[in-house]
Amino acid sequence: MISVEQALEKILTYVDILEEEEKPILDCLGQVLAEDIYSSIDVPPLDNAAMDGYAVRSRDTRGASRESPRFLPVIGMVAAGSISERELELGTAIRIMTGAPIPKGTDSVVRFEDTDELLRRGSSISQQLPTEIGILCEAEAGLNIRRAGEDITKGSIVLSKGVVIRPSEVGVLASLGHSKVMVIRRPVMAILATGDELVDINQPLPLGKIYNSNTYSVAALVLRYGGIPRILGIALDSEDSLVAKLRQGLDADMLITTGGVSAGDYDVVKDILAKEGEIAFWTVRMKPEKPLAFGTIRGSSKAGIVRNIPHLGLPGNPVSSMVTFELFVRPAILKMMGKKNLAKPTIDAVLEDSVVNSDGRRILARAVVKEHDGKYFARLTGPQGSGILTSMSLANGLVIIPEDKEEVAAGDVVQVMMLDWSEE
Ligand code: AMP
Ligand code: MG
Find the CATH number of the domain harbouring 168.
Answer: 3.90.105.10
- 30 with 165, same domain: the answer is yes
- Residues 116, 249, single domain; the answer is no
Whole-number pLDDT of residue 175: 94
258 Cα nearest atom in ligand 1? 16
Range of the domain at 388: 346-418
Residue 197: predicted pLDDT: 96
In a domain, 191, yes or no: yes
Q: Is the CB of 260 inside a 6 Å radius of any atom of ligand 1? A: yes
Q: What is the reported pLDDT for 263?
A: 67
User: Is the four-CA dihedral 390, 392, 395, 398 of positive or negative sign?
Assistant: positive
CATH code of 76's domain: 2.170.190.11
DSSP class per residue in 92-105:
-EEEE-TTPBPPTT
pLDDT at 139 (0 to 100): 96
Asked if residue 391 is part of any domain, the answer here is: yes
Torsion of CA 19, 178, 226, 294, to 10 degrees: 10
User: Are the C-beta atoms of 296 and 14 separated by less than 8 Å?
Assistant: yes
Distance 267 CA to ligand 2 centre (A): 6
264 CB within 6 A, ligand 1: yes
Sheet arrangement for strand 188-194: 228-235, 188-194, 254-258, 306-314, 291-300, 277-283
**Cβ contact 279:270 at 8 Å:** yes
Domain-embedded: residue 305: yes
CA 282 to centroid of ligand 2, rounded, Å = 17
Q: Are residues 106 and 86 in the same domain?
A: yes
371 and 321 in one domain? no
Is 341 a domain residue? no
Distance CA 173, CA 35 (A): 12
**Ligand 1 pocket residue status of 296, Cβ below 6 Å:** no
Q: Are residues 180 and 305 in the same domain?
A: no
pLDDT in tens, 331-388: 999 999 999 999 999 999 999 999 999 989 999 999 999 999 999 999 999 888 888 9
Ligand 1 atom, smallest distance to 197 CA: 12
Please report whether residue 424 resides in a domain: no
Does residue 77 share a domain with residue 202?
Answer: no
- Check whether residue 303 and residue 404 sit in a common domain: no
- Amino acid at site 275: K
Residue 389 CB coordination number (10 Å): 16
Task: Clarify whether residues 243 and 96 are in a common domain.
Answer: no
Domain assignment present for 303: yes
Count the domains in the chain.
Answer: 4
**Last residue in a domain, options 184, 202, 237:** 184
Measured by CA distance, the residue closest to atom 14 of ligand 1 is 316
Give the whole-angstrom CA distance, residue 308 versus residue 299: 6
Q: 180 with 191, same domain?
A: no
- Regions of the chain with pLDDT less than 70: 122-127, 263-267, 423-424
CATH assignment of the domain containing 312: 3.40.980.10
- Please check whether residues 286 and 198 belong to one and the same domain: yes
289 and 198 in one domain? yes
Residue 235 φ/ψ, nearest 5 degrees? -100, 140
SS3 state at 134: strand
Residue 215 CA: nearest ligand 1 atom is 19
CATH code for the domain in which residue 379 is found: 2.40.340.10
The atom number, within ligand 1, closest to the CA of 260 reads 3
Same domain, residue pair 238 and 297: yes
The answer to whether the CB of 288 is under 6 A from ligand 1 is no
Give domain status of residue 232, yes or no.
yes
